[in-house]
């Protein structure tokens, strides 16, 4: 069986995108791993599968898988690529696109110059809903990692995120410390770990250790999480430019009760056909 797919990227995070609206196929964990291999497969950070809507009020449902085959709740960079994909493939004919994911519902708006605006929904700071083991909600938590005590912020922006503020992201122990925090016992569903360097109240640099992947060139939900935590802690003001190795995103958040808005690019690399 032959399956059409597209290779896309959003700020350097790359995706294999499959239309499961007009095509039917079965995807196993081992198959995802083999396709993700950059030498023997297509190669990608995430597999993104566009499905018919589960909810009649939505346009699509989409599922997103890490390169190790595990399914995750949501991806901000993937959401922008999805919007570009369904628009270019003419699966939809209007600019506002309503989609559901395991992590919640999103509204994606196509702008000019390959830019997409994503309503990421309201950030969740309540520990039990992230989920994060804590007795009470606070703006800063103390996390014990080995013999060290780490100050961090915790939030759900489609995925659980732990945000650390560092003096210099170039010297931050993203791989070592990021991995340990990602699987920390206080995160029962694991977490993405962001290392944020504040340049000024409207600009940060960010590196993210993603659960199931490791460090990536950028992380859309991670950018939203870092800005939400930074504004909650009083060190940032909306809008915020988030600079990662893969590019820049613009994040806006007006505070409690408002959704996080993310604007950034989505790029088609190539279209292909593969045999399943």
| 257, 231 contact by CB (below 8 A) | no
As given in the structure block, the two tokens for residue 160 are 């659980």
Match 């590019």 to its residue by tokens: 247
| 219, 72 contact by CB (below 8 A) | no
d(CA 181, CA 243): 22
* Among the listed residues 21, 60, 11, 50, the one whose alpha carbon sits nearest the alpha carbon of residue 241: 11
Binding-site positions read 66, 76-77, 159, 192, 210-211, 220-221
The set of catalytic residues is: 219
CA angle 224, 180, 195 (to 5 degrees): 35
d(CA 230, CA 22): 42
Binding-site positions for substrate read 66, 76-77, 159, 192, 210-211, 220-221
First to last CA, the chain: 5
d(CA 197, CA 219): 15
Cα 21 to chain centroid distance, Å, stands at 23
| 182, 164 contact by CB (below 8 A) | no
């Amino acid at each position: 069986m032959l399956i059409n797919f597209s290779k896309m990227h959003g700020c350097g995070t790359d995706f294999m995108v499959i239309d499961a609206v007009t095509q039917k196929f079965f995807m196993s964990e081992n198959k995802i791993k083999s396709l993700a291999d950059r030498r023997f497969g297509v190669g990608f950070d995430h597999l993104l599968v566009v499905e018919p809507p589960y909810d009649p009020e939505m346009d699509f449902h989409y599922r997103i898988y890490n390169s190790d085959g595990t399914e995750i709740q949501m991806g901000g960079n993937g959401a922008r690529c999805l919007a570009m994909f369904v628009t270019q493939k003419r699966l939809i004919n209007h600019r506002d696109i309503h989609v559901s994911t395991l992590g919640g519902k999103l509204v994606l708006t196509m702008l000019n110059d390959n830019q997409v605006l994503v309503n990421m929904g309201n950030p969740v700071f309540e520990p039990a809903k992230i989920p994060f083991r804590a007795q009470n909600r606070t703006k800063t938590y103390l996390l014990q990692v080995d013999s060290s005590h780490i100050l961090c912020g915790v939030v759900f922006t489609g995925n659980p995120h732990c945000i650390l503020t560092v003096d210099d992201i170039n010297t931050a122990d993203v791989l070592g410390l990021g991995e340990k925090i990602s699987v920390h016992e206080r995160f029962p569903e694991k977490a993405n770990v962001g290392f944020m360097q504040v340049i000024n109240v409207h600009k940060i640099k960010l590196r993210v250790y993603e659960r199931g992947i490791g460090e990536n060139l950028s992380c859309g939900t991670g950018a939203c999480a870092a800005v939400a935590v930074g504004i909650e802690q009083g060190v940032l003001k909306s809008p915020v430019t988030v600079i990662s190795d893969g590019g820049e995103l613009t994040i806006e958040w007006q505070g409690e009760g408002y959704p996080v808005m993310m604007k950034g690019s989505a790029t088609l690399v190539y279209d292909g056909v593969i045999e399943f």
